[in-house]
A and B are shown apart, each in its own frame.
Chain A
Amino acid sequence: MENSMNHLQDIPFTPLAYMAMAVLLLPLLSFVVLAILPQRWKRPAIALGILFSAINVLLGSYLFSQIWEAEAVHARTQWFSLSLLDKEGPTFTAGILLGNLSVLMVMVVTVVAFLVHLFSLAYMASDKGIKRYYAFLGLFTFAMLGIVLSDNLMLIFCFWELVGLSSYLLIGFWYQKDTAVAAGKKAFLANRIGDLGFLMGLMIFWAYFGTLDLEVLHAFQKEGNWPTGELWLTVAGIGIFFGAVGKSAQFPLQVWLPDAMEGPTPVSALIHAATMVAAGVFLLARVFLLLEVDVLTFIAYTGAITAFMGAIAALYQQDIKKVLAFSTISQLGYMVMGMGVGAYGASLFHLLTHAAFKACLFLSAGAIIHVLHGLEKKLGEDGIYIDPQDMRSMGGLRRYLPTVFITYILSAFALIGLPLFSGFLSKDALLTGAALWGMEQGGAAYLVPLLAFITVALTAYYMGRQLLLVFFGTSRMAPDSDKVAAVWQQSQPLPWTMKLPLWVLALGSTAFVFSLNPVDATHSWVLQGLYATLNSANPLSIGYKQQMSIVAQGHHYHTFISLISVGLAIIGLYLSYRRYGAKKNPSKGQLVEGERAAPFLAKLSLNNWYLDTIYDKVFVRTVLFKSKTLQNFEVRVLDRFIDIFAVSQVVLAHAVSIFDRWVVDGGVNVTAYAVGLVGKWSRSIQGGKVQSYFLWVLMGVVLIVLFFLF
């Protein structure tokens, strides 16, 4: 495109852009400070880290108030140029793009990061590596804000990789544990596979347009310079989507997320609920208008399948965090599906609500684990062993942890999608989009809304099961109830640094924060603001057309769809009540027994669709087999060949050394000896005797005379 160079002029930084830079760099400063300060200053260092993150919330809020529903700000400067001395080369720019979308994400990231900073204070208090932990939190926040604020895909990719790195560091934080190290590695590898696609997509975009600046790309689109129906652009879209598949844990790369629960629980709240996994959805939102129709269809199917698979996998999990992890996969599937069906606003809205209620769930689970971990030691003295994360040894916790009970139930209701809670609004918007898309496309496309609706019931079932197992009934910690009561007597109350984040996030799980009308989000400030980001789009863009048709027709179906979804949720809750409810109140033994005699579905669920097994068989084994074969080949053939080669080299070297010693050295010695002889003889002329000198002179004279005579 010949006019792309004109688009890439520098755009001066305004005060708001500088402020965004401050928001971006403050967590990096926190990382650097925490990394540099010595271990003995860890308390002030951590306090500084929390202070920085609190300041970041204030700065982020100010940015939000200035940018939201107001003029977008774009600042850009030349980053580097590949020009040679006289040859004009491509120029790369870097800058900050502040719009409704980015400031909304800035709010999510800074607020959740601050709450997690605060919560971790008590959770990680006894950990030796707490300073390192806070440093990594800063690094992660920096990387995430970088993705959110960058104005071009190249820069986003850089921060994208940095997020991958810092999440690897945080998941493998307890590096003494082999499982944590393996989980970090797995997350890193799964992300790399997705990033490969992302990188390919970027290369194709670059080859077509010579720039990766988002505004410029959108300008091409708006001016009608966008080539339509190009196969390579479809490939690019799918490639970029693959980046999102890796980060947002979509099928088939979702296997890393459950394992990532090995990291500290507040980390899960930050990166596996609110930020890192949402980065994939955010990326899709950034390129939403640039995606081809086939790409969108592919995204819709992938999202729906992931939502369903995640929900099935969550059904029978024993670990309190694993349930939440699979639920996250499922909800991310919803968001991705939303992008695919063109429900752009609804998808981002769900990202926002999910960030709040899932972070709340994770932090509540963290509080439970924190308390039970304290009790684990006391019970261990009496010979009773519990796993602080195993729901089978919980039960009846509503009496002992009332705060956590309330926040958990609020956020769980939001996740299930009950009216008056935030999840209801966003999920309904998503389901409406999916249903409209299904009706519009017809045929196999009905699969997408169908899976989405089934997932609603499944979500209600597994959350109901979790609530019942954790909070209701009687405690299954110890065989006799007196013992349990005695142990709970000794437990420490939750500090305010833990309670405050829980309350804030639980408040964020209610519908009133997002919409004045608690049962219909069509006119909520969030959706209106998000739709506004599409205003400048080319009306011919596929995503734009789909979004607008959803906006136009959504309200016809809204009531119907919300009734169905609430009905399905209630059915799910009822089924879970029938199985795990108060009347049944299953004991730990019964639960263990029940799992053992479980049907195929339970095994499928517990093993996450046997994906790990399949990958192990198909990829890991194949690779190991290949490497074994290659190793054998190397040992038997290559090494032998090299050995023979080496031996012949040694033999040759010996021969050369003999030749060297006798012929070369001999020649040199002979020369030296001859020269020595000559020297000895010629030295004897100068014997020091005056008379012999005289004789020589005389002979010389005689010779000269003879010469002249004859």
Chain B
Amino acid sequence: MIPIEHFVLLSAALLCIGLLIVIIKKNAIVVLMGIELILNASNINLVAFARYDPSIQGQLFTLFVIIVAAAEAAVALAIVVRVYSYFKSSDLDRIKELKG
């Protein structure tokens, strides 16, 4: 049986990679990919810890996360398309309309 530390380390690594992508990458679509990585890092954690839990709450929650991630991706990509058609670019550095 694979020890739990491996799952945790994997999910931590994924989380860090996801965060790094979200913060660093210029392209909005790549940023969305980073968000997917973060979500999946949490999924790994949920599934891994669910093994030590007699109920199936953790696994069900993972399913919910996948569904929400799919919905989020659909909405986010739609926004990106609209943003792209408005700014003629998906470069997040150029989209600075929220400046205070």
- What is the CA–CA distance of A686 and B19 in the complex, to the nearest angstrom? 20
Q: Are B22 and A694 in contact (CB under 8 A)?
A: yes
Q: By the criterion CB–CB under 8 Å, are A689 and B100 in contact?
A: no
Asked whether B23 lies within 8 Å of A689 as measured between CB atoms, the reply is: no
- Kindly provide the distance from the CB of A469 to the nearest chain B CB, expressed in whole angstroms: 110
Is A584 close to B, CB under 8 A?
no
Distance between B31 CB and nearest chain A CB, rounded to angstroms? 7
Query: 13 extra interchain contacts, Cβ-Cβ under 8 A, other than A688-B100, A689-B96, A694-B22?
Result: A683-B100, A686-B98, A686-B100, A688-B96, A688-B98, A688-B99, A690-B92, A690-B95, A691-B24, A693-B98, A694-B23, A695-B23, A698-B19
Bound form: Cα–Cα A683–B99 in Å: 9
Q: Mark B24-41, 1 if CB is under 8 A from A, else 0.
A: 100000010000000000
Chain B residue numbers with a CB within 8 Å of A683 are 100
What would be 22 A-B contacts, judged by CB atoms less than 8 Å apart? A683-B100, A686-B98, A686-B99, A686-B100, A687-B99, A688-B97, A688-B98, A688-B99, A689-B92, A689-B93, A689-B96, A690-B92, A690-B95, A690-B98, A691-B23, A691-B24, A691-B92, A693-B98, A694-B22, A694-B23, A695-B23, A698-B19
**Chain B: which residue is nearest A687 at the CB level?**
B99
CA distance A690 to B98 in the complex (A): 8
Q: Residue of B at shortest CB range from A683? A: B100
CB–CB A691/B96 < 8 A: no
| Complex CA–CA separation, A683 to B97 (angstroms) | 14
Q: How many residues of B contact A (CB 8 A)?
A: 13
Contact string, A668-710, partner B, CB cutoff 8 A, digits 1/0? 0000000000000001001111110111001000000000000
Count of CB-CB pairs between chains A and B under 8 Å: 28
Evaluate contact between A691 and B31: CB separation under 8 angstroms: yes
Minimum CB–CB distance for A685 against chain B, Å: 8
B34 → chain A closest CB, angstroms: 10
Cα distance A688–B95 in the bound complex, in angstroms: 8
A693: chain B residues within 8 A (beta carbon): 98
Inter-chain CA distance A691–B30, complex, in Å, is 12
Counting from the closest, the 5 A-B pairs by CB-CB distance are A688-B99, A686-B100, A688-B96, A688-B98, A695-B23
How many angstroms between the C-alpha atoms of A688 and B98 in the bound complex? 4
- B1-43 to A contact mask, C-beta < 8 Å, 1/0: 0000000000000000001001110000001000000000000
- How far in angstroms is the closest Cβ of chain B from A694? 6
In the bound complex, do residue A691 and residue B99 qualify as a contact, i.e. CB atoms below 8 Å apart? no
The residues of B that contact A695 with a CB separation of less than 8 Å are 23
Asked if residues A691 and B97 are in contact (CB atoms below 8 Å), the reply is no
Contacts of B53-93 to chain A: CB distance below 8 A: 92-93
Which chain A residue shows the least CB distance to B35?
A694
Pick the contact of A687 from B23, B24, B31, B96 — CB < 8 Å?
Answer: B96
Whole-angstrom distance from the CB of A695 to the nearest CB of chain B? 5
Contacts of B99 in A (CB 8 A): 686-688
Most buried by B among A686, A687, A689: A689
| B86 shortest CB reach to chain A, Å | 15
Give the distance in Å from the alpha carbon of A689 to the alpha carbon of B97 in the complex.
8
Q: Which residue of B lies closest to A695 (CB)?
A: B23
Q: Which residues of A contact B22 (CB under 8 A)?
A: 691, 694
Complex: chain A residue closest to B97, CB-CB: A688
Chain B residues whose CB sits within 8 angstroms of the CB of A689 once the complex forms: 92-93, 96
Min C-beta distance of B76 to chain A, whole Å: 12
The interface residues of chain B lying within 8 Å CB-to-CB of A690 are: 92, 95, 98
Shortest distance in angstroms between A360's beta carbon and chain B's nearest beta carbon?
104
Report Cα–Cα, A419/B92, bound state, in Å: 133
Measured CB to CB, the nearest residue on chain A to B98 is A688
A689 CB to closest chain B CB (Å) equals: 6
Q: Please name all residues of chain A whose beta carbon is closer than 8 Å to the beta carbon of B23 when the two chains form the complex.
A: 691, 694-695, 698
How many whole Å from A188's CB to the nearest CB in chain B?
Answer: 81
Distance between A662 CB and nearest chain B CB, rounded to angstroms:
35
In the complex, what's the smallest C-beta–C-beta distance from A675 to chain B, in angstroms?
A: 17
Q: With A and B bound together, what is the CA distance between A691 and B31 in angstroms? A: 9
Q: How far, in whole Å, are A128 and B35 apart by their CA atoms in the complex?
A: 107
Bound: A694/B98 CA distance, A: 13
Q: Report the separation of the CA atoms of residues A691 and B34 in the bound assembly, to the nearest whole angstrom.
A: 12
